[in-house]
Amino acid sequence: MIEILLNLQLLAPFFLFFIFPVFFFFFLTSSCPTKRSITIPKPYPLIGHYLDLKGIGNRRIQWLSDIVKISPATTFTLHRPLGRRQVITGNPATVAHILKTRFSNYQKGYTFIHTLSDFLGTGIFNADGNTWKFQRQVASHEFNTKSLRKFVEHVVDVELSDRLVPVLASAAAQDKTLDFQDILQRFAFDNICKIAFGYDPEYLTPSAERSKFAVAYEEATEISSKRFREPLPLVWKIKRVLNIGSEKKLRIAVKEVHEFAKNIVREKKKELKEKESLESVDMLSRFLSSGHSDEEFVKDIVISFILAGKDTTSAALTWFFWLLSKNPRVEKEVLKEIMEKSESPVYDEVKEMVYIHASLCESMRLYPPVPMDTKEAADDDVLPDGTVVKKGTLVTYHVYAMGRMESIWGEDWAEFKPERWLEKLQTGKWNFVGRDSFTYPVFQAGPRICLGKEMAFMQMQRLVAGILRRFTVVPVLTPGAEPHLISFLSSLMEGGFPVKIVDREASSSN
């Protein structure tokens, strides 16, 4: 109650003096409010595009994508209330400018870092400058080791065979409807926790009590990301000071996550001291073994890894299975490739699954796990198309829009066509043909490109092969209905992804 009153109290003068007058002006001047074709919206004094954004609700990604596509040089300036500007671009040359050429000028920035700092501290995902650089160096070294790759392979295979396949087999036997998005998120969470700090939250085990860590992590992610949605950041800041409502919940959840992570760090440090080496080979053990023993440093970096790897692969896979169900021709090709490989494919065989690799790239083109990504200008600048950027301006590259541009992908951009990533060799085999990362910035690009890209593909390919070898995933959606992509820190299928699981063997013997 106090929270609602506080919100109203803070927003009342804003509404009285700015919103209401403009609101009436808007209705008096708009000719046909019910049928709006996409045009570049005009900003209003003081409130900028606030009313448009409010009216668009959960379709912000799609609406901005439509506008970016028709804007000159595919770059649009969004006017936020009280004069704040956000440049949104779908232009590969501009993306290269902000992510590579002028990298040092386009950082995460104060707003982003401050909003997530209670949860993420100064972990790699939430750091700039030297703090970021040092973590990047330490982490890249570990990410590139063969032994980590082997460990990840093992973790994924165990989670797949001991948890995911039994869950799906049981759903198939009982003809149960599952929320596949939820299942994939749980799968990814178990995996990334085991990889990051050697802890198994057993999130996918139906009978197990939900780990307090998993619940707290989910809550901390959700509330932290909702801070970005407050019309005025002052609202969450005051709630935080008063320790009420969502901010009170966040404080409790963050404490739980941090304490849990610190305990694991302490246990491992103790073991390292006693035995002089660690048996475990997860990321945390590697950092400690190589001399990085500062508790806050390793805790923050591990918490950032979990966030980076938690919902991204599950988002990619949710949309992949949806697109596959709509494209039987592609599904047939994918299956053909899987059946040509052994049942437990070794690393090299997974690498050879080029058609699956291309299909995953193609589904992330249409439904990127991180649909928009924002930087903040540290200084004044001019973008390659002439757009003037003032210090403090937010600059966003719109990955979702870029994946749907005719100028980049051709007239058939709307088709799910893995072949656009492939060429046929004389031997009859497929060869993967990549695109440059500024045209396809699904994993970002430049010095801060995703560290887990290779790991993510390996996980996703193994999961796709492991599931489709045995089951068919059949969406339970109203015929003709198209699910919607929404996004907080990463993308989601709105309302979940209800599916039935069909056992291939059982259905073919019927």
**Rounded distance between C-alpha atoms, residue 496 and residue 207, angstroms:** 21
Q: Does 370 bind ligand HEM (CB under 6 A)?
A: yes
Q: How far is the CB of 370 from ligand HEM (least distance, A)?
A: 4
Q: Whose CB is nearest to ligand HEM?
A: 452
Residue number with CB closer to ligand HEM (180 or 443): 443
Contact status: 320 vs ligand HEM (CB under 6 A): no
Check residue 318 for interaction with ligand HEM (CB under 6 A).
Answer: no
**One character per residue 145-184, x = contact with ligand HEM (rule: CB under 6 A):** ----------------------------------------
218-226, 272-280, 336-344, 446-454 -> range binding ligand HEM (CB under 6 A): 446-454
Q: Which residues in 45-58 are b (16+ Cβ under 10 Å) and which e?
A: ebbbbbbbbeeeee
Closest CA to 313 of 122, 427, 183, 479: 183
In the numeric block, the tokens 């966030």 are attached to: 307
Shortest Cβ 357–ligand HEM spacing (Å): 12
Asked if 455 interacts with ligand HEM (CB under 6 A), we say: yes
Stretch in the footprint of ligand HEM (CB under 6 A) among 38-46, 72-80, 91-99, 311-319: 311-319
CA-nearest of 457, 226, 277, 218 to 359 is 457
Pick the binder of ligand HEM from 128, 219, 362, 373 (CB under 6 A): 373
Q: Does 372 bind ligand HEM (CB under 6 A)?
A: no
- Under 8 Å between Cβ of 106 and 375: yes
Residue 354 is a binding residue for ligand HEM (CB under 6 A): no
Residue window 67-106: x/- pattern of binding to ligand HEM, with contact defined by CB under 6 A: ----------------------------------------
Q: Which of 124, 134, 131, 126 minimizes the C-alpha distance to 301?
A: 124
As given in the structure block, the two tokens for residue 494 are: 């709105």
Cβ distance to ligand HEM smaller for residue 308 or 405 = 308
Q: Among the candidate windows 253-261, 302-310, 318-326, 470-478, which touches ligand HEM by CB under 6 A?
A: 302-310
Contact status: 221 vs ligand HEM (CB under 6 A): no
Number of amino acids touching ligand HEM (CB under 6 A): 21
Q: Does 117 bind ligand HEM (CB under 6 A)?
A: no
Q: Write down the H helix ranges in 200-327.
A: 212-227, 233-242, 245-275, 283-289, 295-310, 312-326
Q: Is 138 in the site for ligand HEM (CB under 6 A)?
A: no
Q: Which is nearer to ligand HEM, 92 or 452 (CB)?
A: 452
Q: How far is the CB of 125 from ligand HEM (least distance, A)?
A: 5
Give Cβ neighbours of residue 55 (< 8 Å, ≥ 6 apart).
Answer: none
Nearer of residues 48 and 466 to ligand HEM, judged by Cβ: 466
The CB-of-45 to ligand HEM minimum distance in angstroms stands at: 32
Judge whether 265 and 23 are in contact, CB under 8 Å.
no
Contacts 24+ apart (CB under 8 A), 166-170: 167/204, 167/206, 168/467, 168/470, 168/471, 168/501, 169/470, 169/501, 169/503
Task: Confirm or deny that 32 is annotated as ligand binding.
Answer: no
Tell me which amino acid residue 508 is.
Answer: S
Q: Least distance in Å: CB of 124 to ligand HEM?
A: 5
245 lines the binding site for ligand HEM (CB under 6 A) = no
Q: Which two tokens stand for residue 129?
A: 């400058």
Which of 236, 438, 443, 497 is the binder for ligand HEM (CB under 6 A)?
Answer: 443
Q: How many CB atoms lie within 10 A of CB 395?
A: 27
Distances, alpha carbon 390 to alpha carbons 62, 112, 397, 398, 486, in Å? 26, 17, 17, 20, 29
Q: Which stretch binds ligand HEM (CB under 6 A): 163-171, 386-394, 402-410, 438-446?
A: 438-446
Q: State the CB neighbour count (10 A cutoff) for residue 500.
A: 17
Half-sphere exposure of 260 (CA within 13 A, CB side): 21
Q: Is residue 60 within 8 Å of residue 410, measured between CB atoms?
A: no
- The alpha carbon of residue 247 and the mean position of all alpha carbons in its chain are separated, in whole angstroms, by 23
Residue-level length of the chain = 510
For residues 64 and 397, the answer to whether their CB atoms sit within 8 Å is no
Residue 449 CB, shortest distance to ligand HEM, in Å, is 7
Query: Which CB atom, from 159 or from 247, has the smaller least distance to ligand HEM?
Result: 159
- 409 touches ligand HEM (CB under 6 A): no
Can you give the binding site for ligand HEM, defined by CB under 6 A?
124-125, 136, 305, 308-309, 312-313, 316, 369-370, 373, 442-444, 448, 450-452, 455-456
Q: Residues forming the annotated binding site for heme?
A: 450
